[in-house]
Structure 1
Amino acid sequence: MEITEIKSQLSIANVLHYYGLKPDKNNKMCCPFHEDKTPSMQIYYKTQTAYCFSSNCKTHGKSMDVIDFIMHKENLSKHEAIKKAEEILNPGSGNQEISKEKFLTNMFQYFRNAISNSKPAKEYLEKRNLDNSILEIGYNSGQFHHGERKTGELINNALEIGLLLDKGLVNNRTKEKAYQVFANKCIIFPLKNRDNEIVSIYGRSILEPNDNKLAAGTSRHFYLKNRSGIYPGYPKKDTKKLILTEAIIDCASLLQINPIANSYSLMACFGTNGLNEEILQAIKDLPELEEIIFCFDQDKAGKMAVAKCSNLIMEQCNNVKITSVELPNNDVNETLQLHDESIFTELLSNRKDIFLSTEGDSSIPRNDKRTVILTKEESPKAEPKTAAEFLQQKDLLKSLNQLIEKAGIIGEENSRLLLFLITISYLNKSPLHGIVQGSSGSGKTHIISRIADLMPQEDVLRFTRITESSLYNWGEFDLFQKIIIIEDLDGLKEDALYALREFISNQVLRSSVTIKDKKGNNKSSHKIVKGQFSSLSATTKGETYEDNMNRSFIIAINESEEQTEKIINYQNRRNAGEVDKSEEQKAISFIQKIVKNLKHYEVINPFATQIQLPNNVKNKRRLNEMFQSIIKQITIIHQYQRETKDNFLITEIEDIENAVEILFESIILKIDELDGSLRQFFEKLKKAFKEDSFTRFDAMEVTGFKKTQLQFYLNELVRLEYLKQIGYANKGFKYKISYSDNIQKVRKDLKEAFTKQLEELKKKK
């Protein structure tokens, strides 16, 4: 069609009606092209044009005809706007009939624009906490086939698809044929195919029985005939975690929460019996899928549906973990109406494995239950046991430590287990933090990196350096339930260390920032970053980070000759092909499964008041809290073996014994004035020289340290008065041990004190 022909047939009223825009009685309306609270756009029906009088509008200064209006409304080129105008004017024109997908896309655009003209629809969305500026939501007022929009093609297409039903009715006033409208007075959601095209729609009535407009028992849910498509669309191929909701409105509610929308894929079922073949096939077609999370209603029907759907999925995807979220209210949408959206982060962290928690649930039919331990046939082929079976072993920590060694972390038996326990705390409300000390080249960065390899990699963030303000610039939930690995703590400046300290202490950073509003003006804003994360850092220094160390467990790298021999022997065997790398990778994968199988629990330690730390420890208050935290972590990792009471895990004496053993060296470091690597250096000097004087070359030969690191340690020991410097610089200094403390006696006394307390606990039990 020619432009003149389009303009002669397509009125400005028709265009406004298509986009759901309605001028007031003075032919004015709020401009759709900029933020406009006071109507600044005038509609001129005589000339079929529109003009915005606001200088803030991109169209200001130019009168718009129907093609210009379409071009600006949809950000199209002139040519595309002409094609769109032809489509609005006659959607069925041309040699080819308009496709169902194209027609539904056009209709949904109309429904979406219609919300702005419907006060009841806006009130319903507000009541339901649904934001139509974020979500794809429309409203069907039942008028789409009336007025200037009405054409034969529109009626025919609507009848064919099912938007209109021919009941043989006649309008008494106009004597024209009348139609029953599909999903009248409903908010509208699109259902999409694999190509992301709208192939069907769902309508949810905004009328309730108590409105006196909807008869009791009348359906409030509407689907087009021959329903197909998925809401909000097919999940991405790289989906690892998929949330399934019972209803479309519940799914839409979760889509509005950025941390969830960014970290998970979502799909809605069509009710308790709505896990259809299309949805099942979409799930089967996800090659990287690891977990399906049910967010169904909390009533009996919802729980039974979860059990039924879980079994259906397991029949076709038996390697996928299936979990369920327990909601505090009946459904997802109601929960969001009554709580802040951040509650869902906590609810997701507390989700339960369906097949590890169904026993005793009377709402699940007997024939839908599975045993707590999966059968041998269902075990992963690459492993002799499932993660659940592994976690039920009697000597769990010993077996876990052996598995960590199979994964390639050699030696450091207690340290690697402590680091593992610290790291897996990232799902807890009070996560833990560790700092690994060691000299240059001692392997401190290697060990924290390998521990991080054992965790689900989507939860790990690794940093070589952190700039002064970078922690303040993350999104509100970007660091929530994450693991942060800092390879070089020495490279952080004071402002970055301060931010890290605040994060560790308070789990939140608050900053005042300057932003630009929509009009380009500067304004102050309050930015919040929440940081429920565990962290591991590596450093060569000790005292430098005392404030950070007070908030973290200190782990010293074992720099003994025995440990060096273990590592060298392993490296040689690996290079000789004697170490099976595939077995190493299997161990890593299996540990990751173990971590994923762990659920967060609150822990009650009935013995907490009956065991005390030594009085000579530095920062005893903070260390005591850290000591109790490790007991908690050991209890959590034994969750398949521990008694639960009101959903609390109960600590046993065995957990305290394990905590003392694992944490012993870290407690010693808190007592010792010397940090870990400096203490090991000093002990080598004491053993070699006792009361003899020595040069730095003698010390180099005994300790194996190079010049720079060696001199730093010698100077530090002189400063702390453990060594005495003799002679003059021009002739070369000599050194002599001036304070030979007895750290072995301290260790012995501490071990005896703990042993005595534990024996007393066992007697009382």
Structure 2
Amino acid sequence: MEINEIKQHFTILDIADRLGIQVNKQGKAHCPFHDDKTPSLQFSKEKNIATCFSSRCSAGTMDIIGLTEKYLKVSTHEAIMQLKEWTGSVAPTGNNGKTTTSSEMEQIAILTKAFHYYENGIRTSRKSKEYLDSRGLIQTTPSRQGTETGFNSGNFHARANESLKATALKYGLIYESIGNSGGYSAFAKNSLVFPLKNKDRKIVGLYFRSLDEKAVSKHLYLKDRKGLYPQYPKPETTKLILTEAIIDAATLQQIPGITAEYEILACYGTNGLTEEHTRAIQSLASLQEITFFFDGDPAGSAGVEKQSEKLRELRPDVKIYHVETPKNEDVNSLYVGHQEKAEELFKHLLKGRKLLSSNEIKKEVQKPEPTTQPVPKQSKPPTAGKFDTSNPHKISYFTDIAHYYVKGGLRQELDSLRVSLVIEATHQTANYQKYRNKLDLYENKQVERIAREAAEKLSLRADLVELDLHRLTDQLEDHRDKQMDSRETGRPKVILDNTVTSQCKAFLSKPDLIKRFNELIGKAGVVGEENNRIFLFCIAASSKMPDTLHALIQGSSGSGKTHLLVKISSFIPDEDVKRFTRVTDSSFYNYGMYDLQNKLICLEDLDGMKEEAQLAFRELQSREMLSSSTSGQDEKGNIRSFEKIVYGPIASMACTTKGEIYEDNMNRCFLIAVDETHEQTKNIIRYQNRKASGKIDGAEEKRVTTFVQNCIRMLKPCQVINPYADKVQLPEEAHKIRRLNDLYQSFVKQVALMNQYRRKKDQKGRLIAEKEDLQVAAEIMFESIILKVDELDGSLRLFYENLKQYVKSKGESYQSYSFGQREIRQALHLSKTQLHRYINDLLSLEYIQQTGGYANRGYQYKITWWDNIEALRAKVKRHLQGQLDQLEIL
């Protein structure tokens, strides 16, 4: 596409909209190239140009290429290429030469547009300006260097068209509002925003620092977090500083004397050294040293110890240092407190940094400091002012005045700090050595009263005890915040060694993978249920994938539903599974924002869940997120409302004896009926007897289970396309065929994902499903499809078939044969409760009818509808297999 064609393709207002420049009705906008208080950038749609008329600006007159070049700070060639990308005439490429996918380009475009909007938002936000001032940070503008940041007022989508809203919704910038009003709400409203960038220095993620006092969490990221802050280190980097938080990195970026010598990279908390960080560090060929500049508290020291070990293994050729940050200080607090001499202070601290050895940090954390008060002979307390969280159920705080113990750990409600407190005197002259009480440390009157009572009982000064309690409160707050931050950095990952990785990869790369998985499941102790077990296993393995699946396991009481669920879930890595026996009404709403994301949720008894809990569960299955409006106290004690979001998606397995009651649940799930036949019962008893006699090796079952878990860890999320999707049609008799067809297509994708080491990818990096995947999916899903076609659920169908067989055994006149409940109960070995439910269900569906008898002597029944389930099964089988046989290879 030539330059003239590009100029004809776009108007200057189109480019302004793409770049996030807001143009008013008069065609004017605030100029982004200088500090513009009144709109001075004039747009001319007729001439297709923009001109800044301010005497303080050198931008002058710009066409669409010039505006793009100056706004994105790129060369003319790069600006032209960017415009070509926007026309769709070329695929964008990164600095590494790899083609950027359309979804990546879309993500970069929407996040860049949003961030430019957020940058302009600071101009009208007094709160964000005050916060930046309190932190000693200045915002980058065309006329000054500072921190690249913006403010999210929550109005980014207010004037957006539906296409832009759909893109913003896709990448988590907004979410659908709850209630009947519809519309959208902004993610992380009232937050400072910092851009996270990829290797090409394009914005691929955002970090939000909430300024809202009532916010549940102060630190928020978009889901599927990508990018580094402030950017990827330069390839020629020799010295690198790692900070604990983004605010700390932004602070150091403002000190020219530091940036001239060091590259700076922010971790996302003490446990926030991600895979993307390590890949970036691994790529720095000239790197000579890494310096940790974490907070001066126990959590910061522990974080340095943990992350330095990781980097030492990653880069044994690089020296690793750490800065001894003053106690209870961090990079930003030091900068704020010594702003006039900040550069001198930080150079001094970096000059005095210490080279780390494997045990140095551990010794430093455990090193005792001298105490000024005498201590009892029976114990040697740690340093005065020492805060210890090594035992989360007994947090300790030691001062020269007393020892303080928080028993039972911390609650997660941010509007209070309720603790069970034990105060122990450090001297032997006290009337009694311990004082115990419960209190809320956010209630000043309670703290004053407790301080007086403890001081009186322990012969201490009340003012000093109260001061200790306030310091303890600060420490507990920081500890709780760090706990929440560590949860948001993602789930713990199990690192597989090279031997295990090679074994798993070899297993996943061979043909008949699903069949071989099924054999391993059998070796691990799942008896019989050959089709059900592999079906459930594939559903459970979808938890990490883009399209998650759900199963509802039906069966009568004592049929082995829960055992099957527990055994199958054991093959999924422990870090990806949550199992529940009971779920309270609002418990799903109270999880952290990403606690349930890509987890397998196992419910042992769906029957016991109340409607409110079932609603939340269904929303996680379908909408893949929960959003709720709740209330709590802010820091001033005022009751305020705030939004709480829990993100999915989840995969799930649940057990029930009453599958037909849960219509909404059944629509979202694959129905799986437990095998309750006599042959299966004999197989289970035979296995139980062999295991009890020692003929089955339990250690071998555990080894197989661990191997399957490691294979699942090797599977990676990926988009899948099915070129045969429109070639196979499910039987029209199926119940809720729209949703069943969606479930079938999702299961085909899951089978392809399981075979990802044997499947090809298209130009966009998507796996391509093959005919084999459709065949395997149809065979595994066949019984579930039959359950959707059949109006009887699994256990009821089994009872009905056994009943027909029994009645037919009564001779040629079987069609008129009448029977009573006692007769059937004894013939089929059923409990009275089970049989009563089956009889009522068949009566309501008009398969049998009551022919006589009395309530006190028992009723008589007769079968009135003799269906042929085998003929139906054969019909559905021919319908599916005929289509599969006719598939042509594309």
Q: Cα distance 1:530–1:266, how it changes in 2: closer, same or farther (>3 A)? A: farther
Partner of 2:750: 633
Pairs within 5 Å for 1:543-554 = 543-554=660-671
Map 1:233-312; keep pairs closer than 5 Å.
Answer: 244=278, 246=280, 269=311, 276=318
* Counterpart in the other structure of 1:652: 770
- Letter of the structure 1 residue corresponding to residue 687 of structure 2: Y
Deviation at 1:353, TM superposition (A): 10
Q: Which deviations, in whole Å up to 9, do the C-alpha atoms of 1:157-185 show, x marking residues without a partner?
A: xxxxxxxxxxxxxxxxxxxxxxxxxxxxx
Query: 687, 701, 705: which is aligned to 2:830?
Result: 705
Q: How does 1:263-412 map to 2 (within 5 A)?
A: 269=311, 276=318, 378-379=499-500, 386-412=503-529
**Structure 1 residue 703, shift from structure 2 partner:** 2.5
User: Is 1:466 aligned to 2:513, yes or no?
Assistant: no
What is aligned with 2:793? 675
Secondary structure (helix, strand or coil) at the match of 1:477 reads coil
Residues 1:354 and 1:346: Cα distance change in structure 2 (over 3 Å):
farther
Q: 2: CA distance between counterparts of 1:235 and 1:696?
A: 64
Shift of 1:252: 9.6
Would the alpha carbon gap of residues 513 and 501 (structure 1) be closer, same or farther in structure 2, given more than 3 Å must change?
same
The 1:132/1:469 distance shift into structure 2, 3 A limit, reads: closer
Normalised by the size of structure 2, how large is the TM-score? Answer: 0.49
Paired AA for residue 421 in structure 1: C
Show the 5 A alignment for 1:207-222.
207=254, 218-221=260-263
Cα distance, 1:119 vs structure 2: 4.3
Question: Using the alignment, how far apart are the partners of 2:650 and 2:622 within structure 1?
Answer: 11
Shift of 1:521: 0.6
The residue number in structure 2 matching 1:588 is 705
Of the structure 1 ranges 540-549 and 124-133, higher mean CA displacement relative to structure 2 is found in 124-133
Q: CA deviation at 1:218?
A: 3.8
- The answer as to 2:739 corresponding to 1:622 is yes
Match of 1:206 in 2: 253
Go from structure 1 to structure 2 and tell me whether the alpha carbon gap of 1:743 and 1:516 turns closer, same or farther (over 3 Å shift): same
The separation in 1 between residues aligned to 2:242 and 2:761, in whole angstroms, is 45
Q: For residues 188 and 659 of structure 1, what CA distance do their matches in structure 2 show?
A: 48
CA contact (8 A) 2:559 2:676 kept: yes
Q: Give the AA of the match of 2:864.
A: S
Shift of 1:543: 1.7
C-alpha deviation, 1:616, in angstroms: 0.6
What residue number does 2:653 align with? 536
Alignment of 1:11-30 (within 5 A): none
CA drift of 1:720 comes to: 1.1
In 2, the alpha carbon distance for the partners of 1:679 and 1:117 equals 69
Higher relative contact order (Cα pairs below 8 Å, separated by 6+ residues): 1
Partners of 1:220 and 1:758 in 2: how far apart?
A: 62
Is the CA contact 1:188–1:203 (under 8 Å) kept in the aligned structure 2?
no
Q: Is the 8 A contact 2:848 2:861 kept in 1?
A: yes
SS in 1 for 2:662: helix
In 2, Cα distance between equivalents of 1:452 and 1:665: 21
Distance 1:623 1:519, change over 3 A: same
Q: Residues 612 and 580 from structure 1, CA distance in 2 versus in 1: closer, same or farther, beyond 3 angstroms?
A: same
Identify which of 713, 719, 722 aligns with 2:847: 722
The aligned counterpart of 1:298 is none
Task: Please say if residues 426 and 534 of structure 1, whose CA atoms lie closer than 8 Å, have aligned partners that are also in contact.
Answer: yes
Runs (5+) with no aligned partner, structure 2: 1-130, 141-145, 151-193, 196-206, 212-216, 220-239, 282-288, 295-301, 322-355, 363-485, 809-813
Measured against aligned partners, the alpha-carbon deviations of 1:422-449 in whole angstroms (never above 9, x if no partner) come to 1111112221110000000000011011
Q: Pairwise CA RMSD of aligned residues? A: 4.7
Counterpart contact for 2:242–2:290, Cα < 8 Å: no
Where 2:773 maps in the other structure, the secondary structure is: helix
Give the 3-state SS of the residue equivalent to 1:469 in structure 2. Answer: coil
How much does 1:597 deviate?
0.4
8 Å Cα contact 1:479/1:531 also seen in 2: yes
Residue 243 to residue 222, structure 1, CA distance change in 2 (3 Å): closer
Please give the secondary structure, in 2, of the residue aligned with 1:515.
Answer: strand
Q: Which residue of 1 aligns with 2:784?
A: 666
In the alignment, the residues of structure 1 paired with residue 268 and residue 488 of structure 2 have an alpha-carbon distance, to the nearest angstrom, of 24
Residue 433 (1) aligns with residue 550 (2): yes
Cα drift, residue 242 of structure 1:
11
Q: Classify 1:509/1:202 alpha carbon distance in 2 versus 1 (closer, same or farther; 3 Å).
A: closer
What's the % identity of the aligned pairs? 39
Task: State the secondary structure of the residue aligned to 1:528.
Answer: strand
| Separation (CA, whole Å) in 2 of partners of 1:594 and 1:558 | 28
Counterpart-to-counterpart distance in 2, 1:718 and 1:252: 74
Alpha-carbon distance change, 455 to 251 in structure 1, aligned in 2, over 3 angstroms: farther
Contact kept in structure 2, 1:204 and 1:221, CA below 8 Å:
no
CA distance in 2, matches of 1:411, 1:271: 46
Instruction: Give the Cα–Cα distance (whole angstroms) in 1 for the partners of residues 732 and 268 of structure 2.
Output: 60
Asked if 1 retains the 8 angstrom alpha-carbon contact of 2:147 and 2:254, the reply is no
The Cα of 1:704 is off from its aligned counterpart by 2.1
- Equivalent residues of 2:487, 2:595 under 8 A apart: no
The SS at the match of 2:672 is strand
Equivalent positions of 1:438-517 (< 5 A) are 438-517=555-634
- Check conservation: 1:241, 1:265, Cα contact below 8 A: no
TM-score, normalised via structure 1 length? 0.57
Change (3 A) 1:346 1:554: farther
Q: Structure 1: where are the runs of 5+ without partners?
A: 1-112, 137-185, 192-200, 224-229, 254-260, 287-343, 356-373
- The match for 1:736 is 862
Secondary structure at the aligned position of 1:753 is classed as: helix
Between the two proteins, the alignment pairs up a number of residues equal to: 492
State the SS of the aligned residue for 1:730.
coil
Alpha-carbon distance in 1 for matches of 2:658, 2:585: 20
**Distance apart, 1:347 and its partner CA:** 12
Distance 1:475 1:345, change over 3 A: closer
Q: Distance in 2 between matches of 1:252 and 1:719?
A: 72
Pair 1:124 & 2:249 matched: no
Residue 876 (structure 2) aligns with: 750
Q: 1:250 to 1:745 in 2, by over 3 A?
A: farther
Work out which of the residue numbers 795, 806, 822 in structure 2 matches 1:688.
806
Q: Name the residue aligned to 2:27.
A: none
Name the amino acid aligned to 1:713. Answer: Y
CA distance in 2, matches of 1:614, 1:538: 27
- What amino acid does structure 2 have at the position aligned with 1:540? T
Deviations 1:681-720 (A, max 9, x none): 1110011113332222222233322111111111111111
Q: Which residue of 2 aligns with 1:601?
A: 718
CA contact (8 A) 1:472 1:511 kept: yes
- State the 1:233 CA deviation: 10
- CA apart distance, 1:245: 6.4
CA distance 1:687–1:574, change in 2 (3 Å): same
Moved more, 390-399 or 723-732: 723-732
Q: Are the structure 2 counterparts of residues 219 and 655 from structure 1 closer, same or farther at C-alpha, using a change threshold of 3 Å?
A: same
C-alpha change, 1:430 and 1:509, in structure 2 (3 Å) is same
Secondary structure of the residue that 2:729 maps to in structure 1?
coil
Contact 1:189/1:203 (8 A) holds in 2: no
> Does the C-alpha gap of structure 1 residues 460 and 222 become closer, same or farther in structure 2, counting only changes over 3 Å?
closer
Q: Choose 652-661 or 714-723, whichever is displaced more.
A: 714-723
The one-letter amino acid of 2:836's match is Q
User: Given that residues 437 and 444 in structure 1 are in contact (C-alpha distance below 8 angstroms), is that contact kept between their aligned partners in structure 2?
Assistant: yes
Q: Residue type matched to 2:147 in 1?
A: Y
* CA deviation string 1:386-433 (max 9, x = no partner): 111111121211111000011111111111111011111111222111
State how far apart, in whole Å, the 2-side matches of 1:555 and 1:243 are: 43
Q: Residues 577, 509 of structure 1: CA spacing in aligned structure 2 closer, same or farther, 3 A cutoff?
A: same
Alpha carbons 2:241, 2:291 under 8 Å: kept: no
